Every structure is written in C-alpha cells, then in structure tokens.
Structure 1
Amino acid sequence: MGGKSSKYDNLEIMLGDQSSEPHSLPLKYLKKITNSSSDERVLGRGGSGVVYKGELSNGEVIAVKKLERSLPSFEKQFTNEVYHFMKLRHPNIVRLLGYCYETHNVCLQHNGKYVFAEMSERLLCLEYLPNGSLDRYISDESSGLDWPTRYKIIEGICYGLHYLHVETHNPVLHLDLKPANILLDNGMLPKLTDFGLSRLLDQQQTICTSSREGTIGYMSPEYLHGDIVTTKSDIFSLGVIIMEVIRGDRDYPGLGGTSSEEFTELTLDKWRNVLGKARGYTSLEVDCQQIKRCIQIGLLCVNPERARRPTATKVVKMLQGISEANQVDNLMAVHRICIC
C-alpha cells in the first residue's frame, strides 16, 4: 500500500525537479519543513537573514532563507534576489527552487493600546549545499584544503562570475562577492549565492551609486567610496578571494609593503614546502606553475586602478593558459588599500 498522500505532494515533486521553474510557496509549508524556523534547523546567519534546513517528506533537504524584516532594504533585497535567481542557471550559481511572499495582520500592543499591524514574510528556497560556505574552509595553506581542491574552487568562482558578467542577457554585478557568499557542494564545487545587492548594468556598462552596502575588505576602492561601479568592481572582489584561497588570508603587495615579485616567491616557497611533504607527490613543478598563475591573476584583479583590472573573460583565458598572466603591474608595490 502507498503512503498517505499530503496536500503538499505536488510542491515536493516540483522542488525535486531540477528542470522546474521556481514557484511561489505557502508560508505554512515552509514553516512545516523547517519546524517553524527552529534554532536546531539553523544552517547559517548573515547580514540579510537566517538560513534554515528544510526537510521534505521524501528525505530530501533544501535551504530556506528567511530575510530579516528589520533590514532597511528588506523589500529591495528580496526583490533583487528573486529577480536575479529566477533567470540565473549555471553550475556555479546556487539554484532557486521557490519563494514565499506573504503579508498578514497581527494584533500588537502599541502605546498601551492594541492595534493591528501588517507583518510581511519573505523567504527563498534554495538548493542545499552540504559543505556550507567557503569561509569555513579557508585557512593557512599548511592545513585545510589541498591545492587541487583550492584550484577547483578558484576556477569555479571565476566561471560563475564570467557567467554573470558575460553569458547573461544583461550583465549582472554581484556587488557582495566574498567567501561567505560562496557555497560548496558534496564535491567542493563552488556556487555563488546571495544576490540581494546585485544590479543589472545599463547600456554604458556602469552604475552610479552612493551605496556602501558591500563587505569591507572585498569592496573595490571605487565602490567603497561611492563612485561609479562596473564589472571591474566584482573583479576586485574576485582577486581578494583568490588571494585568500591561496594564502589563507587577504594579504597582497599593496598591503604588506613587499613587491609583487617578492610576494609571489614567498607564497610559492610556502606551497613548495607543503607540497613537498606529501607522500608520493610527483607534480610539484606543475602545481607550482598553476599556483603562480593564480597569484598573478589575483594581483591583476586587485589593482587599485579599475581600468587595469582584467575582465572576467580575460581571467578565464589566463586560468586556461590561453592568455599570459605575468603582466603584474609593479605599481602594486606602492599602492596601499584599506582592508579591514
């Protein structure tokens, strides 16, 4: 005999269908699968809300992101995420499964009286990535992830950003690219998420903004100072992440006072030491060339001069060895950028 059917069976079939378009989901259902947003179901907390583990009746798991109502840009961030996620389909972009937008009236006490107030709930249902966010894995290169895994992560982030900038109908700026917004699947494949601050570019490929809503340390100088932002603003963030994945920190020549050549050699020496200790390891020089190429790409990306940063297409070509990555600007040694 078959199991007892549920009124939510069709929803669960839709959620499990990878070819299905995201649909509106009832709040009652999302409360059911997250055990009323209980603390034991929390997967993570961020500046824009809390992510809960949603368990379907068939045992599958999804992630349910509940946006904080107290956010000044609550409505805008939710709308941004839904609009962008709805049209983004790529192996290195987290997939949107559904969304919930419900408003109800609640009786509350205000100034000694009971009044009815509107309460809005905004939730996103996303594919569940069991290994969590990248920031949990970045550490000193002598521990944590091995080099092939780190390279796979760098490569996937670059491909995801290339998709946003080049392969979509209108270029999409992420504007909050950082390890906490990069999730990892079972095979450590990286997927970009959190499009609450994202923007579509105009025909001039620029955005005028006074916003400073990104994350200090990953924001480009022009974005940090409320200037015009372009795809090169995301490229700066990419460079910081590449450095962090390679080194375990966000240090680079513009910060430490060393030249780009010294920086590269010091980083390579550390990796040679780590790789050389691995039992049966035979591809030291091949991996060191790969590490050197990634360092050079990262240095190009964090150039304080926007025009000198590569495009996402150039970054991918350099990764693939189609284009040279050794033209690191020596001016990096004399520029200092505030990274907190």
Structure 2
Amino acid sequence: MTDGEKLAALEKALLDESVDPVDLPFSLLMSITENFSDAREIGRGGFGAVYKGVLPSGGIIAMKQLFERYEILDKNFESEVTCLAGVKHKNTVRFLGYCSETQQVLIPYNGKRVLADVRHRLLCFEYMPKGCLADYLSDASCRLQWTTRYQIIKGICEGVHYLHQQRIIHMDLKPQNVLLDDSMVPRIADFGLSRRLSGSQSWAITDHKLGTMGYMAPEFLNNGEITYKTDIYSLGVLIMEILMGHKESSSVKEVIILYVRFQQTKKL
C-alpha cells in the first residue's frame, strides 16, 4: 500500500472503532508530526515520547515513539502491540496503528561516516484532549468534583476488570497512565510493561522488576511475583490518590472528613 492508502486506512481506523490497527510507514508519521517537532510533543516517560499527529482531515491522534534502547525496545514493543491488538473497551485507550521499521543512515564514528541501523518503533492511539489523570491530582481538592472522581474510579475499575478477563496484567497502573476524554471518561493507557498470562497460568515470576515506586505491590517488589493482585494493589493506591489528591494519606478518616466538608459546602 502507498502512503496515501495507509493514511486513508488510519483515517478510517480513527472514525470506526471496529477497524483493526494499521501497520504505518515511518515517513507518514513524520509528516503528520512535523518531523516530530518539539511543538508537537505532548508528553515524555521512561520508555518514549508522545507526539500529537494531525491528519489532513483535521483528525488528531497521539503517537508514542519508543526510545532507542536496545535492551528494552523489542520486548516492550512486542508486549504492548500484542496486548493492545485485542483490547477494546470504553475504559482502555483505543489503539489505531503501529510502525516497526529499521533504516540505514550515515552517522559519524571515529572520525568517519558509517552506515548504522536506526530502528523506529511507534504506537498510535486516539488522542485524549483532557490529558492524563495526574494533571488533576495536585492537592486535596484535586480540581475534580466528587461525582467526577467517583465516575473516574468506577471507569478505571471496569477497565482493570476487563483486562483481567482478557488475562492481561497491566503492571503499571498510575495517574500518568490514565487518560481522560472530553467527557472525563478514564482510559487506561501504556501497556509497555503488561503481561498476558496463558490459559493455565495464574501467576508468574520475573527478575525484571520494572514499574513505578509507590505503585508496585510488595510481593512483586520483593520477590518478582506477578498475579492479578499486582494490579489490585496499584489500583488501591490510585483510588486513594484520586480521593485525597496525593498518595500519602494518613487515614481513610481523612477522606471521610473531606467528603463531609464538601457536602456541607454544597448546602451553603
């Protein structure tokens, strides 16, 4: 397929939720991000940077470009594509397409210019205009009404339940990995560390304890043990953070006091 045909396929995937993710050429992704300009960058994490891509029709997508780190690149890219390919739920980010290309380019080396392989690994998603949940959790008021907080918690729980039904353990639930659409509906994102268990598996062990401190379950952090409870621990931390505006809450009683004050304010 030509770049024009691939672009049309991407446009269709953006409009039609039933369309499968599209294999996209790197040249096309360069063109819709203005060559990955700084002005189009909308986020950056440990494994990659996220850019806004603008389609000729005016549609907008979000594009994660994985960093060129050979020890993690292939493993995380394959894991994320595999998990995302079959994930379709109102509380998970919608996966539109991907790019996996290797190019030979001239680079300076020991005073000479030599040909070297440069690998491009990118993932494309529906753009979430409200950003990530972390942007709204700055203090106890957390810029969110209680009804909105409840709906966000409910949506995240439904998304996690769906993933577990698909035998997927997310492994990195945190506010930065929950995106919000125009209606503040939460979408779980970033499946780079996810694990899919086989039909007979209920747990796994790993020596690679990757994740975010403060959200990792003790049994995973100490022993590398992975179960569905790994996500439930992270979910509990996330729920407390949504309620309190921060992770370090002293007690559940503090949450209740804040809620009572909020109800009293509404009556004034």
| Paired AA for residue 74 in structure 2 | E
> Which of 250, 256, 265 matches 2:253?
265
Structure 2 residue matching 1:104: 3-state secondary structure: strand
Q: Is the 8 A contact 2:170 2:195 kept in 1?
A: yes
Structure index of larger Rg: 1
- Residue 213 of structure 1 is matched in structure 2 by 210
Letter in structure 2 aligned against 1:191: R
CA distance 1:191–1:114, shift in 2 (3 Å): same
Q: CA deviation at 1:125?
A: 0.8
Secondary structure of the structure 1 residue equivalent to 2:266: coil
Structure with greater strand share of residues? 2
Give the match for residue 233 of structure 1. 230
TM-superposed deviation, 1:44: 0.8
Tell me which amino acid in the other structure corresponds to 1:43: I
Superposed structure 1 runs of 4+ greater than 3 Å apart: 6-11
Q: CA deviation at 1:34?
A: 0.6
Q: Residue 278 in 1 paired to residue 266 in 2?
A: yes
Given that residues 12 and 19 in structure 2 are in contact (C-alpha distance below 8 angstroms), is that contact kept between their aligned partners in structure 1?
no
Matched position secondary structure for 2:223 = coil
Higher relative contact order (CA 8 A, sep 6+): 2
In 1, Cα distance between the equivalents of 2:195 and 2:8?
Answer: 36
Query: Residues 131 and 48 of structure 1: is their aligned pair in 2 closer, same or farther, counting only changes over 3 Å?
Result: same
Give the counterpart of 1:184 among 180, 189, 195: 180
Name the SS for the 1:225 alignment partner: helix
Q: Aligned partners of 1:72 and 1:133: how far apart in 2?
A: 28
Q: 1:249 to 1:19 in 2, by over 3 A?
A: same
Whole-Å separation in 2 of the counterparts to 1:181 and 1:145: 18
Q: Aligned with 2:179: secondary structure?
A: strand
Q: Contact between 2:24 and 2:99, CA under 8 Å: does it hold in 1?
A: yes
State the SS of the aligned residue for 2:229: helix
Given the two structures, how large is their TM-score scaled by the length of structure 2? 0.93
Contact 2:178 2:187 (8 Å CA) reproduced? yes
Pair 176,71 (structure 1): closer, same or farther in 2 beyond 3 Å: farther
Distance in 2 between the 1:88 and 1:143 partners?
30
Distance between the aligned counterparts of 1:71 and 1:51, measured in 2? Answer: 19
Amino acid of the residue matched to residue 271 of structure 1?
A: Y
Maintained 8 Å contact 1:139/1:247: no
Within-5 A mapping of 1:22-171: 22-70=21-69, 72-166=71-165, 168=166, 171=167
Q: Measure the CA separation in 2 of the matches of 1:74 and 1:40.
A: 25
User: Structure 1: how far apart are the matches of 2:224 and 2:121?
Assistant: 31
Alpha-carbon RMSD across the aligned residues, in angstroms, is 1.6
- Report if aligned partners of 2:9, 2:22 keep a CA contact under 8 Å in 1: no
Q: Distance in 2 between matches of 1:75 and 1:228?
A: 23
Scaled by the length of structure 1, what TM-score is found?
0.74
Q: State the shift of 1:279 in Å.
A: 5.0
Q: Which amino acid aligns with 1:126?
A: F
Q: Decide whether aligned partners of structure 1 residues 112 and 53 sit closer, same or farther in structure 2, where only a CA change above 3 A counts.
A: same
Work out the CA distance in 2 between the residues paired with 1:59 and 1:266: 46
Take 2:172 and 2:233, find their aligned partners in 1: how far apart are those partners? 11
Shift of 1:71: 5.8
Contact 2:79-2:193 within 8 A present in 1 as well: yes
Deviation at 1:270, TM superposition (A): 1.9
CA gap of 1:176–1:16, structure 2 versus 1, over 3 A, is same
- The answer as to 2:215 corresponding to 1:193 is no
Structure 2 CA distance for aligned equivalents of residues 249 and 35 of structure 1: 37
Give the C-alpha shift of residue 92 in structure 1: 0.5
Structure 2: any 5+ residue segments left out of the alignment? none
Contact 2:101 2:119 in 1 (8 A): yes
Percent identity, aligned pairs only, is 44
Secondary structure of residue in 1 paired with 2:255: helix
2:245 to 240, 245, 248: 248
**1:163/1:24 Cα in 2 relative to 1: closer, same or farther (>3 Å)?**
same
Q: Can you list the C-alpha shifts for 1:238-259, whole angstroms capped at 9, x where unaligned?
A: 000000000111125xxx5xxx
